[in-house]
Amino acid sequence: MTVRFGGLAALSMVNFEVKRDEVCAIIGPNGAGKSTFFNCLTGVLKPTSGRILFNGEDITALPSNAISRKGIARSYQITNVMPNATALENVRIAAQSRRHGWNMISHHSAFPDINEKAEAALQLVGLLEKADQLAANLSHGEQRNLEIGIALATEPTLLCLDEPTAGMSAAETHDTVQLIRRIANNLTILIVEHDMQVVMELCHRITVLHYGEILADGTPEEIRRNPKVQEVYLKT
Ligand SMILES: Nc1ncnc2c1ncn2[C@@H]1O[C@H](COP(=O)(O)OP(=O)(O)OP(=O)(O)O)[C@@H](O)[C@H]1O
Ligand SMILES: [Mg+2]
């Protein structure tokens, strides 16, 4: 696909494939087009040209709520939780959106299965003990993990994480890597990440974007050794 903003090609004839159950990273310098790529996958943005197929189905023209119901979820580069709702409410609304649409009026006790799903999602991201705390009162790292919980509550089969460890301490980053490992069972994961250690530890395959084009694609080891990648990206 190609995405143009006026004269700028944020993505230029990008051809990318992810296989079921793979954990893949998309890396590249600032402005390479990584978030734009996620925006297209999740229907936030429509590509200027090209197609997006999910399980063989063309989803290019679908709105984001329909794409969510097909099983694609994402977390945002900048934390995107509802600060004045509790951790549980944040994930419950997402769990509900999958089944019943965004019906904010229905009382939550009407959907016991949804509460169970929401609690399960919180447990997966290690926040069940903080279920009743306002999202605003969680630490930055906890809010980022809550956002992963929100994405999981929609029961995705493809999870797109945009810089999940951004702004985290080393200890929080370590915990989030463990978290992503845990959820990677039965889930296809695409991850945009600047922390090379995180990427090398987690991913089967790495795609390098550079000025909207794919510069390289391979295993972590192949990417580490690729001279073009070293020149534009890994060189410090
Ligand atoms: N809505 C928009 N309107 C105009 N230009 C945009 C828009 N969104 C992104 N861009 C431009 O497209 C290019 C790619 O941006 P994108 O956010 O996808 O990069 P990125 O790889 O995610 O960068 P970063 O590592 O900084 O998050 C940049 O030059 C950016 O300024
Ligand atoms: Mg980005």
From the CA of 234, how far away is ligand 1's center (Å)? 20
Would you say the CB of residue 6 lies under 6 angstroms from ligand 1? Answer: no
The answer to whether the beta carbons of residues 32 and 210 sit under 8 Å apart is yes
From the CA of 80, how far away is ligand 1's center (Å)? 18
Sign of the CA dihedral with 176 first, then 181, 186, and 191 last: positive
Query: In 3D, which of 62, 42, 50, 57 has the Cα closest to residue 212?
Result: 50
Would you say the CB of residue 32 lies under 6 angstroms from ligand 1? Answer: yes
DSSP 131: T
Q: What is the pLDDT of residues 170-228, one digit of tens each?
A: 999 999 999 999 999 889 999 999 888 899 989 999 999 999 999 999 999 999 999 99
Average pLDDT over residues 152-156: 93
Half-sphere exposure of 194 (CA within 13 A, CB side): 11
Query: Considering every ligand atom, which ligand is closest to the CA of 76?
Result: 2
Q: What is the pLDDT of residues 90-109, one digit of tens each?
A: 999 988 876 544 445 555 55
Q: Considering only CA atoms, which residue is closest to atom 31 of ligand 1?
A: 31
What the chain holds in terms of domains, given with CATH numbers, is 1-71+156-236 (3.40.50.300), 79-155 (no CATH)
Residue type, 214: I
Q: Considering only CA atoms, which residue is closest to atom 6 of ligand 1?
A: 5
6 CA: nearest ligand 1 atom: 4
From the CA of 132, how far away is ligand 2's center (Å)? 31
Would you say the CB of residue 210 lies under 6 angstroms from ligand 1? Answer: no
Average pLDDT over residues 34-39: 96
Reply yes or no on whether the pLDDT at 39 is more than 50. Answer: yes
Beta bridge partners of 19: none
Q: Which residue has the higher pLDDT, 135 or 112?
A: 135
From the CA of 105, how far away is ligand 2's center (Å)? 34
The answer to whether the beta carbons of residues 196 and 235 sit under 8 Å apart is no
Q: What is the pLDDT of residues 44-80, one digit of tens each?
A: 999 999 999 999 999 999 999 999 999 999 998 788 8
Per-residue confidence (pLDDT) for residue 102, from 0 to 100: 47
45 CA: nearest ligand 1 atom: 1
Average pLDDT over residues 23-46: 95
Residue type, 8: L
Would you say the CB of residue 5 lies under 6 angstroms from ligand 1? Answer: yes
Mean pLDDT, all residues of the chain: 91
Per-residue confidence (pLDDT) for residue 222, from 0 to 100: 95
Would you say the CB of residue 77 lies under 6 angstroms from ligand 1? Answer: yes
- Using a pLDDT cut of 70, give the percent of the chain over it: 92
Residue with tokens 């993990």: 145
